[in-house]
Chain A
Amino acid sequence: MNRHARQERVLGSEAQARLGRRTVRVQSTSNAAASVEARYLAGAGVAGLDGSHGAWMEEARALDGAVTVRADEGPVLATSEEAPAWTYELSPSAGEFVRGALLALRTIRRSSG
């Protein structure tokens, strides 16, 4: 079984192939959420990740050595869409995790479609 087989069952093989050609941006503005977002994106099989410099870069490389990781210039000041309000009702550590995972999920959906 290939490493993305379980994801491919949901997305389909063509969508998985499209995802594998994309370089996507890590958008989270906090270190904790960026780490979560980057690891799920690297695990999903994207071709590359870019974003502001952070610990997520080494973590993403360690998860999948085939992923190209690049730091662009300047910090990410804001995400393009606000996180849902319910994520702010969670405990702080759960909220950070969920916001990072939600951004990864949105990117996977958009980049594979």
Chain B
Amino acid sequence: MPTSSSEPQRKKVLVIGVGGLGCPAAEVLASSGACDLVLVDDDVVDVTNLHRQILFREADVGRPKVVVARERLLHIAPTVSVQTHRARIDVDNVLRLVSAADVVVEGSDNFPTKFLVADACRLAQRALVSAACVGVSGTALLAGGSGAPCYRCLFEDLPVGDAPNCATAGVLGPVAGIVGALAADLALGFLAGSRAPGTLVRFEDRPSGPRFRESRIAPRADCLLCGPRRRIRSLDETRYAGPRCEAP
């Protein structure tokens, strides 16, 4: 049946990295029925993914993550549209992909990709939810497509030296799941107009029990991306050089 021209277009969420954060985020977004999805990941399912990437099963080992995730999401939410790109995000494709989305959920496990996506979202004026986790804690930050604060107001620039990630420090599957679900909740809240850019949510599984905190980050006057003297006006590949590993 043809779609009525007066019918509002469904919102589109781009999920970058279908790993320990992207799987739960995509599942929550699909289950909400409130948006369509675009998934980007170049990896295949590995047996070591299964403890935290719960869209995948033993029989999926060796298959492309985006293909398996799409199958599972359509099983969970048959009316949702799920597009896939089996590709690694880079300076050549990132602006095209983020420009086509209403909001971007980024769950990669390396700083070069996080900063590349953050800069691209700002240049394309797209809202970004950036999630990260390691060990027993994680964060999700909603950054607006314009105005302040942005991702670099909080994280500034790529760290020097090796930063811990889930490959080196480990991670508990449900912790990644909770942080990924919180990232999806921020994206849904942004689309619904109930969540403001600059919202930071944190989860930590402490010995005393799980702890959840929500706060607002402040704009940074000398921010390279959104400050009055901003210097980042294009994507320069050399700015994002650094080690990469798979999504958590």
Contact = CB atoms under 8 A, between A and B. Distances in A.
A32 B169 contact: no
A40 B173 contact: yes
B47 A92 contact: no
B50 A3 contact: yes
Given A7-B172, A98-B181, A101-B177, A43 B188 contact: no
Given A7-B172, A7-B173, A102-B174, A40 B54 contact: yes
B174 A6 contact: no
Interface in B183-201: 184-185, 188-189
Given A6-B52, A105-B210, A94 B171 contact: no
Interface in A78-113: 84, 86, 90-94, 96-98, 101-102, 104-106, 108-109
Interface residues of A, number: 39
Interface string A1-25: 1111111111100000000000000
A51 interface: no
A7 B50 contact: no
A25 to B, nearest CB: 16
B182 to A, nearest CB: 7
